[in-house]
Amino acid sequence: MILKASQRSGAKQLGLHLMKTDENEHVEVHEVSGFVSDDLMGAMKEAHATSLGTKCKQHLFSVSLNPPAEKSVRIEVFENACNKIEERLGLTGQPRMIVFHEKEGRRHAHAVWSRIDAETMTAKPLPFFKSKLRDIAKELYLENGWKMPEGFRDSKLRDPRNFTLQEWQQAKRAGHDAKQIKATIQECWALSDNGPAFAKALEERGLFLAQGDRRGHVAVSIEGEAFAIARMIDKKSKEVAARLGDPKALRSVADTVRHIGETVGPRLSRYISEAKRIAYNAIRPLNEQKLAMIEVHQAERKKLDQMQRERREGEQRERAARIRTGAKGVWDILTGRYFKVRKQNEVEAFFGLQRDRAQRHDLVSAQLKERADLQSLIGIARDRHARQLLGLYRDAAQYRRMSRDGQSDREDTERARPAPRGPELGR
């Protein structure tokens, strides 16, 4: 289970983010404990109000818990992970919230703790929390028999598709897939040994090398969004400059954006708009099927919740009826019958809770599998259209070179190739 965490402020913003339904297909508030309020936003406000009595600027500790995509994980596993985090980081007894998110057939959780100790009005220190969470994540992989990612076995082995939230948000603004952008820049870096070759490889993929304002070399997308090369390839700026040269020799981001608009934009924007329109129309039936599936799944969960609630209330009434009152109740206490009945009620309530959790887990697991099957079809369609767009980017780079140089790569190749020798006449 991948654990990503941060100390932060902004309780209201975090609460609104956790409750967003436009990016998540299902949002479920699983637990709000240790607060006077019993709803998420109320608890967020309460945590913020408590922090005002201290000097703490980052009064919340937020953790995302991401199990392997192909695994159906029970609620108890998430709860166990949260309990481990509390114990290792010294947050035991602190108010916390747990929210489940589901998107594209995957389920993950967010846990948020208040760092403020209400008795001492001080913030709980969290030294080395990243390394501690890494150890907990390894334990969870081993305990549950999951295949451990390469990055856990050797810190130097990292999936190039692992990117930060900032990179993800930046790529979303640019209209690209963050994994594709990062992998593309790393591919160009691996294939190039100098600045001109790297710039040419980027242009063939719809990116342009430029000088960043404060970040050295950057890649500018066709929409004008800049991505720091060093961050994308996990290298130091000095290493990038050693291969690509002084960034001051390149156009600035503003000049590069102007250059794109003057040379590529007029043609490429029409082609890409058409390709995106075709892709949208092609994937629209799958998206409509996805929305219909979400509605069905939500209705099934509401139906199950209603059924379980009615059954639970009926069972509670039945258990309550066993407790006699008045003189009979006093007699039951004296004879010990009352304590036997209470123990029986507690056992039945516990097993009733486990039964309800198992039913909900089975329903959620079945829905996740159905959603994952549909998502695989959506992924195939997305990849196909992404390859088509990549071809358009390469064509646009070719047309730009033809417009600039007056000749194509093929003409360059043929000019460099020696002419065939014919029969030597005159000998």
Per-residue model confidence (pLDDT) at position 159 = 45
**Considering the chain, what is the average pLDDT of its residues?**
80
At 177-212, the pLDDT tens digits run 666 778 788 888 888 888 889 888 888 877 889 988
Residue 328 tokens read as 């009979």
pLDDT of 418 > 60? The answer is no
Per-residue model confidence (pLDDT) at position 154 = 47
Q: What burial class does residue 71 get, using C-beta atoms within 10 Å of its C-beta: 0-12 exposed, 13-18 middle, 19+ buried?
A: middle
How far from 215 is each of 201, 231, 314, CA to CA, in Å? 20, 9, 65
At 395-417, the pLDDT tens digits run 566 555 544 544 334 334 344 34
Label residue 313 by pLDDT band (50, 70, 90).
very high
In 212-253, DSSP assigns E strands to: 217-221, 226-228
Backbone phi, psi, residue 313, to 5°? -65, -40
Label residue 423 by pLDDT band (50, 70, 90).
very low
| Contacting residues for 133 by C-beta, under 8 A, at least 6 apart | 3, 4, 5, 63, 85
Per-residue model confidence (pLDDT) at position 135 = 86
| Contacting residues for 390 by C-beta, under 8 A, at least 6 apart | 205, 206
How far from 21 is each of 100, 369, 392, CA to CA, in Å? 12, 20, 34
- What are the domain boundaries of the chain? 2-153, 165-262, 267-405
Residue 68 tokens read as 């392997």
* Mean pLDDT confidence for 116-140: 88
Are the CB atoms for 80 and 135 separated by under 8 Å?
no
At 323-346, the pLDDT tens digits run 988 999 899 899 999 999 999 999
Cα distance between residue 133 and residue 126, in whole Å: 11
* Mean pLDDT confidence for 63-84: 87
Are the CB atoms for 25 and 16 separated by under 8 Å?
no
Instruction: Classify domain 2-153 at the CATH class level.
Output: alpha beta
Per-residue model confidence (pLDDT) at position 395 = 58
pLDDT of 223 > 80? The answer is no
Per-residue model confidence (pLDDT) at position 151 = 58
